[in-house]
Amino acid sequence: MANFDFLVYCSMLLCFCSTFTESIAVNNITRSQFLRDGQTLVSRLGSFELGFFSPGKSKNRYVGIWYMNISVQTLVWVANRKNPLIDSSGVLRIDVSGNLILVNQTNNIFWSSNSSRTAENPVVQLLDSGNLVLQSNLEEENFLWQSFDYPSDTLLPGMKLGWNLKTGLDHRLSSWKSPDDPSPGDLSYGIELYGYPEAVMWKGTEEHFRSGPWNGLRYSGAPELSPNTVFSFTFTDNVEEGSIQSRLVLNQSSSNGGVLQRFTWNGRSSGWQLFLQVPRDYCDTYGLCGAYSNCDTNQSPVCQCLEGFKPKSPANWDSLDWFDGCVRKTPLDCRNRDGFMKFSSLKLPATRQTWVNRSMDLKECKVECLKNCSCTAYAIADVRGSGSGCVLWFGDLIDIRQFPINSATTGQDLFIRVDSSELAAQSDSKRKGKLIATIAATLVMGILLLSCSVWYLWKWKNKIRLEGSEVDNGEQDTVDKSHMDDLELHAFDLATIAMATDNFSVSNKLGEGGFGPVYKGELSNGQEIAVKRLSKNSLQGIDEFKNEVILISKLQHRNLVKVLGCCIEGAETMLIYEYMENKSLDHYIFDEKRSTLLDWEKRLNIVFGIARGLLYLHQDSRLRIIHRDLKASNILLDCNMEPKISDFGMARIFGGDQIEAETNKVVGTYGYMSPEYAIEGLFSVKSDVFSFGVLVLEMVSGKRNRGFYHPEHQLNLLGHAWKLWNDGKSLELIDPLMRDSCVASEVLRCIHVGLLCVQQQMEIRPTMSSVVFMLGSESAVLPDPRQPGFFTERFPTKASSFSSMQHSCSSSNSVTVTLLTGR
C-alpha cells in the first residue's frame, strides 16, 4: 500500500539556467494571440513559466507551469492531465466564448477552462504567484477562472486546500500516476468538513492518513506546522469555505534572498534539501491500533490500550494484530456514574462523528457531553490563549497517537468518558504510586546517610592510621594511577574542550542523536576531535554514558571508533572521539550524488571492515559484546573510507557462557532490529548478525530497508531481495550507480551472505566468524537462505500485523512542502 509523506525542503542554492524553449515577450495572451508548442509565457518577474512539456520518458505533450529558474524542471500545475497530445501540434488560445482552450491541428479540444462567466475582452495572464488567470482585463483582479482553483499535485503559497462552499469546488491535491504520467494517481489529499474539519489523505476511496483537526495553531497531529519563521498556514472554517492556505512569512530584510515554496507529493525534488517529514512513522498510519488505543513509538509494542480499556481480542492483540482495538473494562451505564479521564499530548481522534460549539468553555463542554449518553469524549476546539470552544466525539475513538508529554508544542488534552470505578482505580493507583515514591525516597535518604556515616568513619580511621606511620608517596601515586587505569580513559577538563570547540559553537556542530549533540573540535596540539555531549533532555542518559565509557575503554580494534577520553565536570558529561572527516555511512549510500563516491571496491571493503569489527566484539575482545544498534548512521568513515563501528550506549556485555538475554526495554532502530528482539525483547549475537545483514543489502542496493518502495509490491528491502533471489534476478538489486564498477560474483556472494544473516529463525543465522569466512572465500559453499524476517507484505489486509511496523516512506507517492532560497 502506498504511503503518505509530507516533506519540507530548504536549500541555500538557487540554480539559474537558460530555458530550451522560445519565450514570447509578454506574460499574457489575448483573443488575438495564441501559444504554440515551443513557445512559453513567463511571469512578469520571471518566477514561473508556462509551456508545453513531455514528462520523464513519455513523448506525450502537456501544458504546464514550472519554476523558471531551477535547472531541474519542477512542475507545479498541469492543464490536460487526463488528455495528452500525441504530437507537437498543440495550440493554447482563447475561443469565441472567452474560454482558454487547448486544441490540436484539427481543432479538437483537449482541455478547456470551462468558465461559466464571459468577458468582451478576455486576457490570460501568468502571475508571479504561479497562478494562471483568465480575467476581463489586466487592470481588474476579477478572475473569471484561475488555475489555483484546480490544483494538480502542488500547493503554492496563496493557494487554498479545501472547499469553497459557495461554488462547490473541492480544492484537492492528487498525485501523478507515475513520473512519466501526470494523470491523477490513487493518492489524494484534501480537507474533510466534518464537525471538526481536518486534512485527510486517501488511497483510492480508503482513508490512509489524517493530520488531526485544526486547533487554531496547527493540526493536532502535525506539530511541524507550528508557527515558525519560514512559513505558516491559516485555516478558514465558515459558511462560505473550509480551507487551509499556505503563506510565506520570511522576514523581507533577512539574508535568505528570494524564496520559493511548494507543498507537493511527488519524488521530483532534486536540488531541495530535507527539512522535515510527515508522516514520521507507522503511528501516522490511519487506524493502525484500532479503537480506544494509543500509538506510541516509545513503547513496545507501539499500540497500547488507553487506561480504563482492554484489548477486544486478546489473542489477536498478543500476536500484534491490533485492528480490533480495545473496549472498556467497565461498560458505561449513563446513570450519573460516568466521569472523564484526562489524557495529555495526544493527536486527537478521527473527527468524522463530532460536534463543535465555538462559544463554550471547557466546563460547559464537560456538562454538554454528560447530557448525551452517546458522547464519548470532549476537548478544547481552539488552543490559542487560554483555550476556547468545545468539541464532542460520538462513537468509537480511532487513530490516536501519543506525543512526548514533556513537550508543550505537541498534542492536546482529551477527556474520555469512563465509568467512575475506573477513575477511582486511577486515583488509587496514583496514591499507591505516591506512597511507594515516598517510601523509596525515605529508604534512599536513609541509605545515603548510612553510607556517608560509614565513609566518614573510614576516612577518620584512615587519617589516624596515616598519622601513625609514614606512607611511601610513590606507592600512594601507584594506587591512584591504578584506579585511573581501571577506566583506561584520559580525563579532559571542561575548559580544554570548550576552547577546542569554540565554546560549543553552532558552526562546529556535526549533528545530533539520541545521546545529544556532537561537535567538531581541535586540541591545542592540532589534533581534530569529535565531542559527544550528553544533553539534559537526552533520550539516552547517564546509564548509557557509563555503559559506553566502560565498554569503549576496554576495546581496541581498527574497525571500532577510537575514544580519546572523557570529560565529567559539573553538569557536563562528554566523550571525546577521534574525528572522522568522512562522517557516517548513511551520508553516502542513501544520497544520489555522494553515493557515486563509493564504488563497489570501497563498499566491499566497508562490508569486510564492519564484519571484522563485529567479530571482534562477539568473539575476539576481552568481553563478549552485543551492540544492539548497528545501523548505517553508526558506521563512521575515516579519511581512507575505513569503517569504524560507533555508539556503544545501547551495547550489552555477555558472560563467557551466556548466549542470549531478554529485556523489557527494546532499544535500537526499526528496520535493523531482528524479529525476536523487536517482538520478544530477546537479543544475542544473532541480533547483531541480523542488523549486519540489513546493512549489507543496503550497501548493495543503495536503498534503506525501512522506507523501501517498489511499484509492484509492498515488501521492504529484505522481502524484495528475497523475491529477486527466488526469481534468479539478484543482480537487479545492485545500485545502478555502481553497476559499471562491481564484480558480479562478489555482489552475488554479498547478497547471499546478507540473506543468510537476515533469516527469520535466529538459530540458523551464521555467526560473524562464519560470515567473515564466507565473504572472504570464493570456494566456500554457502547454504541456501531461508525466508527473511519481516517478509510479509505491509498492510496486506485490513488487519494489521507486525509487518505493518515496517511501513514507511515512498518517495514516488509523497506529499511535500518545499522551500528554496537563493542568494
Active site residues: 629
- The grid coordinates listed for 396 are 468509537
> What sign does the dihedral 236-239-240-241 (CA atoms) show?
positive
Q: How far is CA 198 from CA 76, 193, 237, 412, 561, in A?
A: 24, 7, 11, 15, 48
Give the per-residue SS3 of 15-67. Answer: CCCCCCCEECCCCEEECCCEEEECEEEECCCCCEEEEEECCCCCCCEEEEEEE
Among 674, 671, 632, 634, residue whose Cα is nearest residue 650 = 634
Long-range pairs, 719-728, Cβ under 8 A, ≥24: 719/788, 719/790, 719/791, 719/792, 719/793, 721/697, 721/751, 721/754, 721/755, 721/788, 722/755, 722/785, 722/787, 722/788, 722/791, 725/751, 725/752, 725/755, 725/785
* CB proximity list for 540: less than 8 A, separation 6 or greater: 514, 515, 516, 534, 649, 650
- H or E segment to which residue 768 belongs: helix 768-776
Angstrom distance (rounded) from CA 289 to CA 316: 12
* CB proximity list for 284: less than 8 A, separation 6 or greater: 4, 209, 221, 278, 401
Concatenating the DSSP letter of every residue in 530-554 gives EEEE--TT-SS-HHHHHHHHHHHTT
Burial class (CB in 10 A: 0-12, 13-18, 19+), 363: exposed
Angstrom distance (rounded) from CA 674 to CA 683: 8
- The grid coordinates listed for 22 are 522560445
- The grid coordinates listed for 745 are 560474483
Contact assessment for residue 747 and residue 668, using Cβ atoms and an 8 Å cutoff? no
Beta strand spans in 179-321 (E): 181-192, 198-203, 206-213, 231-237, 241-248, 258-264, 274-278, 293-295, 303-305, 309-311
In the block, residue with C-alpha cell 565473504: 775
Angstrom distance (rounded) from CA 409 to CA 584: 31
Q: From the CA atom positions of the chain, what is the Rg in Å? A: 31
- The grid coordinates listed for 693 are 545483514
Give the per-residue SS3 of 588-647. Answer: HHCCCCHHHHCCHHHHHHHHHHHHHHHHHHHHHCCCEEECCCCCHHHEEECCCCCEEECC
The β-bridge partners of 123 are 30, 135
Using N-to-C axis directions, what is the helix angle for 685-701 and 744-757, rounded to 10°? 150
In the block, residue with C-alpha cell 486478546: 314
Contact assessment for residue 375 and residue 367, using Cβ atoms and an 8 Å cutoff? no
Angstrom distance (rounded) from CA 622 to CA 301: 35
- The grid coordinates listed for 54 are 513531455
- H or E segment to which residue 510 belongs: strand 509-512
In the block, residue with C-alpha cell 553516502: 588
In degrees, rounded to 5, the angle at the alpha carbon of residue 149 between the alpha carbons of residues 143 and 152 is 140
Length of the chain: 823
Using N-to-C axis directions, what is the helix angle for 717-726 and 744-757, rounded to 10°? 120
Beta strand spans in 354-478 (E): 354-357, 375-382, 388-394, 400-402, 412-419
- Strand 22-23 and strand 39-42: pairing? parallel
